[in-house]
Amino acid sequence: MMSVPVNAEMMNIRIDANDHLEFQISQPFSALFRFKPWEEGFTFEIFEDGDWHVELSDCGLPLLGLLHTEHNTPCVLRFLSRIPADIRHRVQHYTFAQANLLRWLAINGYARELFESAPLLCWMLIARQQQQGWPESHVEKLLKSSRTQVLSAISGIGQKSALKWLAKIQLDRASSHECSLLVDALRMNFHRSLCAAQPKIQMHWIRYATRYEALSSSRAFSKYCVDNPQETSDFRHVVSQHARFWDDAIAVARVLGIEDAHIALQRCVDLDSVRRLHDRWTDRMNQRQALVVHGATPFPEPPIPGNETIHPITSLEDLQAEGRLMHHCVSVYEPAIRKGECYIYRILKPERATIEVSLTGNQARARQVKLAYNGRTSNETRLEIESWLVEASKPAGSR
């Protein structure tokens, strides 16, 4: 079974005496394989032990992509032109499992009917066969089923609303990863989100929805997606930042005993509202802690020392004071600090900020750096922190 994508630049291609498209490759491994013409079922075969053997897994080569490479020779053009033009045109965008998709379309009328009415669903079925190792008989049975049954087999979600949502997806690369993202998004019911009503569903919405599932269920996330149909350089930063606000707000609400925190966050009309709610709850927590905490409660010894401008926070009272001063929810990290899962420092120059440090083995790294009100730090501040961590990692005698 060929599971490694074939590099088109590393092979020789020819048409043999029986009109088969034959490939000789040397990387990532040495192999000789061929495809039978469209009329003969587009069967993929590998030459082993002196004979040709049918291989049902995908070869890893987007065949139609050859039309845009140096292998766009008359023999390749002639072979690929035997595929019906409408199928050739519609399949070329699906890069993952493309050869197997073409094979199914060549040999199975039900596959052609499904591809005609729901091309993305048909591709996902063939892609999932490749990913999951489904037998041919299973795919044949599904191709005779309804579209909702096919979708249910793929994702566990067999709803007409999910089919309508799927029909609006704008794929970026039609890769194996994108197929998995669509399955994950269906399983988390992203097809029921507010932005699902849009005429086109962008893949970057789905990519970040699956990464930040709690935030993605909100009105605020849907509005931000609708306002950003194109993925900008700021999209990733804004969404990841507000996902952190969301998670921190839930943690703060737990400290404050706010039972309907999730509902309150869901009602936020935009991401700015999520941040403002987070800040209000954080201020309330910090004010409450300022009133009820007395005495000194030390934390475990920090793993690396501070310097002239970076100081470790070594007690619960100091941590709470940091939260009040900087107007963020660093206090919720108290349990993790006590367990040695993270350590908190303050930096005074070039900007006043709070640093969360974690250890991987003996290697310390800054997981988060936040200005007051969770503001974003400058490159100069981040470089200062990196320099401090590098210096701290040196043996004591070489500092």
373 in a domain, yes or no? yes
Do 90 and 6 share a structural domain? yes
Strand partners, 363: 360
Would you state the pLDDT for residue 276? 92
Alpha-carbon gap, residue 344 to 327, rounded angstroms: 15
Distance CA 26, CA 99 (A): 20
pLDDT at site 396: 59
**Total domains present in the chain:** 3
Q: Are strands 169-170 and 353-360 parallel, antiparallel or unpaired?
A: unpaired
Type of residue found at 333: Y
DSSP state, 295?
Answer: S
Residue 21, domain extent:
1-107
Is 25 within a domain?
A: yes
Asked if 319 contacts 330 with a C-beta cutoff of 8 angstroms, the reply is yes
Once rounded to an integer, what is the mean pLDDT over residues 25-40?
A: 84
**242 occurs within a structural domain:** yes
Interval 213-234: pLDDT, tens: 999 999 999 999 999 999 998 9
For residue 223, what pLDDT is reported?
96
For residue 10, what pLDDT band results from cuts at 50, 70 and 90?
Answer: low
Q: Is the pLDDT of residue 266 over 90?
A: yes
Indicate if 260 and 329 belong to the same structural domain: no
Looking at residue 6, its pLDDT comes to 47
Question: Which of 191 and 316 is assigned the larger pLDDT?
Answer: 191
Residues 262, 335, single domain; the answer is no
> Quick one: 251 and 344 in the same domain?
no
Do residues 287 and 326 share a domain?
no
Q: Which residues contact 65 (CB under 8 A, 6 or more apart)?
A: 8, 92, 95, 98
pLDDT, average across residues 54-73:
81
Regarding pTM above 0.85, the answer is no
Residue 303 lies in a domain: no
Q: What is the pLDDT of residue 1?
A: 41
CA separation for the pair 97, 178 (Å, rounded): 12
Is 43 in the same domain as 81? yes
Rg (CA), the chain: 28
Choosing from 107, 122, 142, the residue where a domain stops is: 107
Residue 100 lies inside a defined structural domain of this protein: yes
pLDDT in tens, 366-382: 999 999 888 889 999 99
Angstrom distance (rounded) from CA 184 to CA 196: 15
pLDDT tens-digit readout, 350-359: 999 999 999 8
Same domain, 261 and 339: no
Please check whether residues 276 and 327 belong to one and the same domain. no
Give the chain's length: 399
User: What span, in angstroms and rounded, lies between the C-alpha atoms of 371 and 355?
Assistant: 9
**Residue 6, in any domain of the structure:** yes
Do the beta carbons of residue 222 and residue 274 sit within 8 Å? no
Residue 195 falls inside a structural domain: no
Quick count: other Cβ atoms within 10 Å of Cβ 37? 19
Tell me if 333 sits within 8 A of 322, measured CB to CB.
Answer: no
From 380, 379, 281, 259, select the one nearest 331 (Cα to Cα): 281
**Letter for the amino acid at 168?**
K
| Final residue belonging to a domain, choices 74, 90, 107 | 107
Q: What are phi and psi of 315, to 5 degrees?
A: -145, 160
Residues 338 and 391 placed together within one structural domain of the fold: yes
> What letter would DSSP give residue 313?
-
User: Is the pLDDT assigned to residue 2 strictly greater than 60?
Assistant: no
Considering the domain architecture, whether residues 318 and 266 belong to the same structural domain is answered as: no
Q: Which residues, including other chains, have CB under 8 Å from residue 170's CB and lie 6 or more apart?
A: 200, 201, 202, 203
Do 94 and 20 belong together in one domain? yes
- Closest listed residue to residue 358, CA positions, set 370, 348, 368: 368
What does the pLDDT look like over 135-161, one tens digit per residue?
Answer: 999 999 999 999 999 999 999 999 999
Q: How many CB atoms lie within 10 A of CB 68?
A: 11
My answer on whether 285 and 376 are in the same domain is no
State yes or no: pLDDT of 128 exceeds 90. Answer: yes
Q: What is the pLDDT of residues 197-211, one digit of tens each?
A: 999 999 999 999 999
Asked if residue 211 belongs to a domain, the reply is no
